[in-house]
Amino acid sequence: MNSVGGFGIANVDIIFGNARRMPKLGEEVYSESCSKQLGGGAVATLIQLSRLGVPVKLATYIGDGPLSRYLVKELEKDKIEYNNMLSTDEEDPVTLSCVVSCRQDRGIISYKPKEAAFAVDKKKIYEFYEGCRIAFLSLEQKELCKPLKEAGCTIVLDSAWSDMLSLEWYYDAFPYVDYFIPNSMEAMKITRTDTPVQALERLSEHLKKPIVKNGNAGCLYKENKELHIIDPLPVRHVDSTGAGDAFAAGFMYGLYYGYDLGDCIRFGNITGGNAVTEMGCLSAVMDEEKLLKYFYEIYGREKKIS
């Protein structure tokens, strides 16, 4: 049980950066830059985690098309070993997104093949995760929380936005989740509350150590009935794409090496903050040496001696 496991559909982003503004219908707006990069999700998180020196175990879907070939090239560049879960004849079983980033915010339009392209036996997914020290799961994999927890894995449940988010979706998973890491918008949507603090309090009814990421206001968490706020990394913001994925990587770095919850969140704030300083999910590189340097300089914390 020496690795962090994650399984998810890969995303490829075409990013138009530094546009003056978002185009209106019928308009054409030019951007200052354009690039193709791997996008967010479990693939991005595990690449970030691998760059921090943590052994990872990645599963995704890879076909024979141009996007799949690009994905393989990028994984090999970061020396990531992977399991291909594709069992259909889909040429490119990835999500393709066009991202327009401007000063005010960003807009995204995406295409993903139909769900039938991603058919995979649930037993195969369980066997992939079995034996991992930490299982990084998505909501779609929530039925694995119970058996993997019982098998000895630490369960980190990721969150993603949906207009249909509700607490009811999580009732059967939360008893087996060690850490759930939503951002404030997701947390408020799930709990039907109006503030991040209210969302944290509501989540504390279901989780022993609830966490709510709150952007440039830091990160909230509750432990032993006490509410805590960890300040964010002070950075110059360029693009928010991938901040949550990078936070998850830093957070699980801390978990992997046995740091307490507050320090795990500090690591997450560092990696998440670093990610927004460049355009795209994986452009701002963070290695373990840089992470520990910020850990000491920003938060006054020392490397844990095992």
How far apart, in whole angstroms, are the C-alpha atoms of residue 59 and residue 76?
14
Tens digits of residue pLDDT in 27-81:
999 999 999 999 989 999 999 999 999 999 999 999 999 999 999 999 999 999 9
Q: What is the pLDDT of residue 290?
A: 95
Which of 60, 63, 66, 62 has its CA nearest to residue 40? Answer: 60
In this predicted structure, what is the pLDDT of residue 303? 67
Annotate 123-143 with DSSP letters as a single string. Answer: HHHHHHHTT-SEEEE-GGGGG
CA–CA separation, 112 and 64 (whole Å) = 16
Q: What is the pLDDT of residue 146?
A: 96
Nearest to 125 by CA among 90, 153, 167, 91: 153
Q: How far apart are CA 130 and CA 127, in angstroms?
A: 5
| Global pTM exceeds 0.85 | yes
User: What percentage of the chain exceeds 90 in pLDDT?
Assistant: 77
Residue whose pair of structure tokens reads 């910020």 in the numeric block? 294
Q: Which residue has the higher pLDDT, 209 or 161?
A: 209
Residue 165's pLDDT is what?
87
- How many CB atoms within 10 Å of residue 168? 8
Pairing of strands 56-60, 226-230: unpaired
Q: What integer is the mean pLDDT of 154-176?
A: 91
pLDDT digits (tens, 9 = 90+) for 103-145: 777 788 999 999 999 999 989 999 999 999 999 999 999 999 9
Contact between 233 and 266 (Cβ < 8 Å) = no
